[in-house]
């Protein structure tokens, strides 16, 4: 293998595949990046067995070849080289790296043991606008469970229907749902590990659309120069649609920032107790937020437009706040039924996003 490549290009593509490198792998070969040079393309592949990333970059390939090099060391070296052309030459398992006045020789591994790319038994293929996809993941993936005993809930459900795709995450205390209206003419649902999705959205850049191929056990996302694979989670997902009521007895429109700031202040005292408890008293034209702990109490008032009945309800402030923080609109809508049914939070301008949070039942 022998090639010339720009430092900036190589450095960027190393960072992309490094998203699939685990620091806790027990397989030494997976601490490495598989490099393949051919037809003036350098391909980089890395995998932690759950996530696999393959990315390609132009290079002047003078001699074809394949080799596996330690990811951390290779990345550190390339990033610290000057912004010039780098010469790479592999002889047997030695990689020689030259750039201006720097020369490295690094011991590599042969590529034979490196795992193959996941085989996708293609079932369904859909295309989603990159912007919509990133937003859907950002607005749902934070709500997954971290409880590894219920592994299906550590993922985001991608529920593909004929004319919409629902992204859903929940953990037993709250649920986040983002609906994308798009004609798919398909029907399939898959549970994608939240960790994988969070890595994936970091490497989406200027893509217009993402091509998604869904198999039985794995899913593939095609970006412009990068292919991202992840295993799917098995298990039954929650029947989320039954949870979302359409009729509400109290509907509140409130300034997002004012409500968030007041809740954050109130939760300073709520945090002192384990329950993180904040109480909302929804009045005619304002919400009163109260919280108390051994060390003191707090009372906050936030102006709001209230339609319907007055209501007292209590929440774990953490779950309420996480949903409000993710919203970008100036105003938000809070939909209540009563003090024991979930509150549904929506953006003022976007009815396709729903954040549902369960209240805490108070003794009397």
- Out of 27, 41, 62, 73, the only residue in the binding site for its own copies (CB under 8 A) is 73
Least Å distance between CB 67 and its own copies? 13
Instruction: Candidates 96-104, 148-156, 169-177, 236-244: pick the segment binding its own copies (CB under 8 A).
Output: 96-104
H helices within 104-255, ranges in order? 130-140, 194-203
Q: How many CA atoms, within 13 angstroms, populate the side-chain half-sphere of residue 26?
A: 0
**The residue to which tokens 């049914």 are assigned:** 341
Backbone dihedral region for residue 276 (phi beyond 0: left; psi -120 to 50: alpha; all else: beta):
left
Closer CB to its own copies, residue 93 or residue 217?
A: 93
How would you classify the pairing of strands 41-47 and 51-58?
antiparallel
Least Å distance between CB 68 and its own copies? 13
Residues 285-344 that bind its own copies (CB under 8 A): 294-302
- Out of 9, 171, 264, 350, the only residue in the binding site for its own copies (CB under 8 A) is 264
- Out of 43, 52, 55, 70, the only residue in the binding site for its own copies (CB under 8 A) is 70
Q: Does 87 bind its own copies (CB under 8 A)?
A: no
Closer CB to its own copies, residue 141 or residue 304?
A: 304
Contact 48, 21 (CB under 8 A): yes
Backbone dihedral region for residue 127 (phi beyond 0: left; psi -120 to 50: alpha; all else: beta):
beta
CA–centroid distance for 208 within its chain:
18
Q: Does 105 bind its own copies (CB under 8 A)?
A: yes
In whole angstroms, give the CA distance from residue 228 to residue 137: 15
Closer CB to its own copies, residue 224 or residue 255?
A: 255
Q: Does 262 bind its own copies (CB under 8 A)?
A: yes
Q: How many residues of this chain bind its own copies (CB under 8 A)?
A: 32
Measured CA to CA in angstroms, residue 156 lies from 65, 76, 144, 175, 234 at distances of 39, 33, 7, 11, 12
Q: Does 235 bind its own copies (CB under 8 A)?
A: no
Q: Does 110 bind its own copies (CB under 8 A)?
A: no
- Out of 49, 58, 217, 261, the only residue in the binding site for its own copies (CB under 8 A) is 261
Of 265, 252, 256, 259, the C-alpha closest to 328 is 256
Q: Does 101 bind its own copies (CB under 8 A)?
A: yes
Measured CA to CA in angstroms, residue 353 lies from 344, 357, 358 at distances of 10, 13, 17
Least Å distance between CB 354 and its own copies? 28
Closer CB to its own copies, residue 82 or residue 235?
A: 82
Closer CB to its own copies, residue 72 or residue 202?
A: 72
Sequence-distant (≥ 6) Cβ neighbours of residue 345 within 8 angstroms: 323, 324, 327, 332, 333, 334, 335, 354, 355, 356, 357
Measured CA to CA in angstroms, residue 315 lies from 134, 303, 348 at distances of 29, 19, 22
Closer CB to its own copies, residue 69 or residue 203?
A: 69
- Out of 4, 265, 312, 331, the only residue in the binding site for its own copies (CB under 8 A) is 265
Closer CB to its own copies, residue 97 or residue 194?
A: 97
Q: Does 29 bind its own copies (CB under 8 A)?
A: no
Least Å distance between CB 101 and its own copies? 4
Q: Can you give the binding site for its own copies, defined by CB under 8 A? A: 70, 73, 76-77, 80-82, 94-95, 101-107, 261-262, 264-265, 268-269, 272, 294-302
């Amino acid at each position: 293998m022998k090639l010339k490549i720009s430092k900036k290009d190589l450095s960027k593509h190393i960072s992309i595949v490094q998203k699939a490198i685990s620091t806790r792998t027990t397989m030494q070969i997976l601490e490495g990046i598989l490099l393949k040079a051919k037809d003036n393309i350098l391909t980089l592949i890395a995998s932690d067995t759950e996530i696999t990333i393959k990315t390609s970059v132009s290079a002047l390939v003078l001699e074809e070849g394949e080799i596996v090099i330690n990811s951390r060391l290779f990345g550190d070296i390339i990033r610290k080289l000057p912004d010039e052309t780098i010469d790479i030459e592999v002889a047997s398992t030695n990689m020689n790296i030259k750039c201006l006045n720097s020369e490295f020789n690094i011991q590599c591994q042969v590529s034979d043991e490196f795992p193959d790319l996941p085989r996708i038994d293609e079932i369904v293929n859909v295309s989603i606008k990159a912007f919509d996809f990133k937003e859907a993941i950002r607005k749902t993936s934070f709500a997954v469970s971290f409880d590894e005993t219920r592994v299906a809930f550590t993922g985001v459900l991608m529920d593909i229907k004929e004319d919409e795709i629902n992204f859903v995450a929940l953990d037993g205390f709250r649920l986040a749902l983002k609906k994308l209206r798009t004609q798919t003419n398909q029907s399939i649902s898959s549970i994608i590990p939240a960790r994988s999705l969070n890595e994936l959205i970091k490497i989406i850049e200027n893509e217009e659309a993402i091509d998604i191929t869904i198999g039985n056990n794995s899913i593939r996302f095609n970006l412009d120069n990068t292919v991202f694979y992840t295993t799917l989670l098995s298990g039954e997902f929650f029947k989320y649609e039954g949870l979302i009521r359409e009729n509400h007895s109290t509907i509140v429109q409130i300034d997002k920032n004012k409500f968030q700031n007041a809740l954050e202040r109130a939760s300073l005292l709520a945090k002192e107790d384990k329950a993180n408890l904040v109480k909302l008293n929804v009045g005619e034209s304002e919400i009163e937020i109260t919280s108390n702990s051994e060390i003191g109490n707090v009372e906050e008032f936030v102006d709001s437009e209230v339609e319907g009945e007055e209501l007292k309800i209590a929440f774990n402030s953490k779950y309420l706040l996480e949903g409000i923080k993710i919203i970008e609109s100036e105003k938000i809508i809070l939909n209540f039924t009563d003090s024991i049914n979930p509150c549904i939070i929506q953006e003022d301008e976007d009815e396709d996003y729903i954040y549902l949070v369960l209240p805490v039942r108070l003794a009397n």
